[in-house]
Amino acid sequence: MKQVLIKQGRAILEEIPAPSLEAGTVLVAVSHSCISAGTEMSGVKASSEPLWKKALRKPEKVAEVAKMAMTQGLARTRSAIEAKVATGSATGYSAAGVVLAVGEGIEDLFPGDRVACAGAQYAHHAEYIRVPRNLVVKVPDDLLLTEASTVTLGAIALQGVRRAQPTLGETFVIIGLGILGQLVSQLLKANGCRVIGIDLDAGRMALARQLGMDVAVSPADGNPIEQVARLSDGIGADGAIITAASSSDQIISQGFQMCRRKGRVVLVGDVGLNLNRGDLYQKELDFFISTSYGPGRYDARYEEHGLDYPVGYVRWTENRNMSEFLRLVSEKRVNVQALINATFPSERVTEAYASLQQSANRPLMVLLNYPARETHSLSGSPAVANPKSGNAKPGVIKIAVVGAGGFAKGMHLPNLGSLSGLFTLHAVVSRTGANAVATAAQFGAKYSSTRFEDVLEDKEVDAVIIATRHNLHTSMALSALKAGKHVLLEKPMALERGEITAIEEFYADTDGQKRPLLLTGFNRRFSPIAGMIHNALRARSNPMIMNYRMNAGYLPQDHWVHGKEGGGRNRGEACHIYDLFSFFAGSRVSEVSAQSMRPKTAHYSHRDNFIATMRFEDGSIATLTYTSLGAKEFPKEKLEVFCDGKTFSMEDYRKLETFGAKLKGVDGALVDKGQLQELAAFGKAIQSGGDWPIPLWQQIQATDIAMRVEEQLAAS
């Protein structure tokens, strides 16, 4: 399919894989999408800035990059930056079209329904879009899809008016008569208000008057504050709604000064916010921020997971605002058609964006339209070939990467390039088509897709790296294994006991056939320092005591890692350490106990502040202290091993100190947690058909320990 991407200051149309349907989402064939002259054009401008200029605006990002370079090296840091730049950015947040399919859990929409969609993460300028249910509304039968495609801008304007709480007969000032100002003006008139509009553009003021605004005020005709005072009989406006876009602080100050005592000011646009206390204090004004489409915006539980707010408690959510705006347009109480200045076919997207950058006769609103379809079905293959990919070397493993997030692009994909004698990157699969295409192009994959099934059905694929969110790991790994693919599965192996059982049953039921290799991404055991410690412990005559401290860092409680997708930090990260203990002990675990700290405030969670202790059958004891309470400046990981008069102390996989042992210490500059060595071991095991890099029982044991710890944390 075709989608608009913003790259280096230009809007371009690219071929990318079509999105795949997911539970709780709707797949829509787009008829029209609306270009936001404000939000999107600022994004175009920002994309053309050189990196050094962006760095000056965001010095905190420079510090992050510098830290990454110090710990992971310049090559890996450069690769991560290049990956981000190469992807470009999907754009668009307001569209309308026809439903192709609905995901599991949606019972009030059906294929063929006409709908309008919102959301900067979803309602892109593209032939097909996948949108969560709460960001989709039905379009009234008598409303054109051209008009419905403006739904997001309408909801933004409507939410701004709701924040102002207008009453019949009040006088409101609108500062800025761009598209939002034009819509706000009509909505205020629908509320029975008297509307005064202010703008520098005479054409915009004339259009607003034509659409019902009462008075237009031009700064060229005198001080706007004085003009508003005269027009309101010296009282001042009851309220001001600011829809302008400017870095000037003067706009917000003027809005305050135009209002009467006890008036209110609502900010919808983007202006300078260095507030003058005197502007508000003497009149005891109320100042409100209007957050985009309305309640639910920026709440992942609402937008992505479909949790609606009860109408008795939240009357107007963003979804209900969207529906109400379309109703007002349908009933001719708001005129959208007069605001649409041009409609461009999607293949002329560069021209469409250029029209919004011209200094004279700049349109207020521009739409894109997409090719008409005879049937309401997804056309074309979701996979997109990479024309620049080379031919694979004979004998190398053809591998697919599923889940092209930051970790895969910053770690696995560069490592695959370093191991070109073992692997060739055959395919990249990502939920986001633009990311899949850009990643395939950067790292030389043969093709990209949004469908995991494409990899499963591809007989050329020998192996798969699965780096998706944790809740998908087991099911995707089993699907790949059953399709005959070797699997490197990023940790965790599983989040539930039933998933462990499914993996055990797969390998138990061999039917006399050799099963593909499964390697869970417990990479720390492959780090050079862990290997040195392991070798030094081979000749031990007694059990060990192992202490591990992980200063994990704080994650907000609404972070995905804490939810159903992540399964918590014990199962999602501490499993690394349970595997490391198993690696050193080489023994079955006999006892697991865990205790958590009970925080007095909800800021911290007991699930990522705990101590877990394991006893192994060989008599060794291991303890993990896992905490999110510590300072981020303090080293993250430290291991101490005591055995036979020897002590080994490791810090952050770059420094090793030894005491009482002949083994020399290490004090390296870079952190090396073994990801490259893990990948190399995976490839060599596939080629040789020999022993697995991690025995299956140890992979299952580390996962089982995590389950047992989780159960005790829940009960403690």
pLDDT digits 0-9 by tens, 459-470:
999 999 999 999
Q: What is the pLDDT of residue 570?
A: 97
What is the end-to-end Cα distance of the chain in Å, rounded?
A: 52
Burial of residue 285 (CB within 10 Å: 0-12, 13-18, 19+) is: buried
**Distance of alpha carbon 652 from alpha carbon 100, whole angstroms:** 50
Q: What is the pLDDT of residue 83?
A: 55
DSSP H helical segments within 200-345, as ranges? 202-210, 224-231, 250-258, 277-281, 300-303, 318-330
CATH of domain 384-519: 3.40.50.720
Q: What is the pLDDT of residue 44?
A: 66
* Confidence at 152, pLDDT banded by 50, 70, 90: very high
**Distance of alpha carbon 565 from alpha carbon 472, whole angstroms:** 8
Q: What is the pLDDT of residue 8?
A: 78
Rounded mean pLDDT, 251-277: 96
What predicted TM-score, i.e. pTM, was given to this entire model?
Answer: 0.88
pLDDT in tens, 655-682: 999 999 989 999 998 999 999 999 999 9
Q: What is the pLDDT of residue 100?
A: 96
| Half-sphere CA count of 347, side-chain side, radius 13 A | 1
Contacts for 464-467 with beta carbons within 8 Å, 24 or more apart? Answer: 464/399, 464/400, 464/401, 464/402, 464/488, 465/399, 465/400, 465/401, 465/402, 465/408, 465/412, 465/490, 466/402, 466/403, 466/490, 467/401, 467/402, 467/403, 467/404, 467/405, 467/407, 467/408, 467/412
pLDDT in tens, 194-235: 999 999 999 999 999 999 999 999 998 899 999 999 999 999
Q: Which of 31-35, 87-91, 192-196, 443-447 has the lowest mean pLDDT?
A: 87-91
Which residues touch 541 (CB under 8 Å, ≥6 apart)?
644
Rounded mean pLDDT, 330-341: 96
Burial 676-710 (b: 16+ CB within 10 A, else e): bbbbbbbbebbeeeeeebbebebbbbbbbbbbbbb
pLDDT in tens, 280-293: 999 999 999 999 99
Q: What is the pLDDT of residue 342?
A: 93
Q: What is the pLDDT of residue 373?
A: 75
Rounded mean pLDDT, 400-412: 95
Task: Assess whether pLDDT exceeds 60 at residue 544.
Answer: yes
Q: Percent of the chain beyond pLDDT 70?
A: 92
* Confidence at 646, pLDDT banded by 50, 70, 90: very high
* Confidence at 9, pLDDT banded by 50, 70, 90: confident
pLDDT in tens, 70-107: 665 676 666 666 655 656 789 999 999 999 999 999 99
Q: Percent of the chain beyond pLDDT 90?
A: 85
CATH superfamily of 523-715: Dihydrodipicolinate Reductase; domain 2 (3.30.360.10)
State how far Cα 323 lies from the chain centre: 26
**Helix/strand/coil (H/E/C) assignment for every residue in 92-138:** CCEEEEEEEEECCCCCCCCCCCEEEEECCCCCCCECEEEEEHHHEEE
CATH 3.90.180.10 fits 2-150+300-369, yes or no: yes
Q: What is the pLDDT of residue 49?
A: 55
CATH 3.40.50.720 maps onto the chain at 153-289, 384-519
Q: What is the pLDDT of residue 673?
A: 97
Mean pLDDT (the chain, rounded): 92
Task: Assess whether pLDDT exceeds 90 at residue 611.
Answer: yes
Rounded mean pLDDT, 504-528: 91
CATH 3.30.360.10 maps onto the chain at 523-715
Q: What is the pLDDT of residue 37?
A: 76
CATH superfamily of 153-289: NAD(P)-binding Rossmann-like Domain (3.40.50.720)
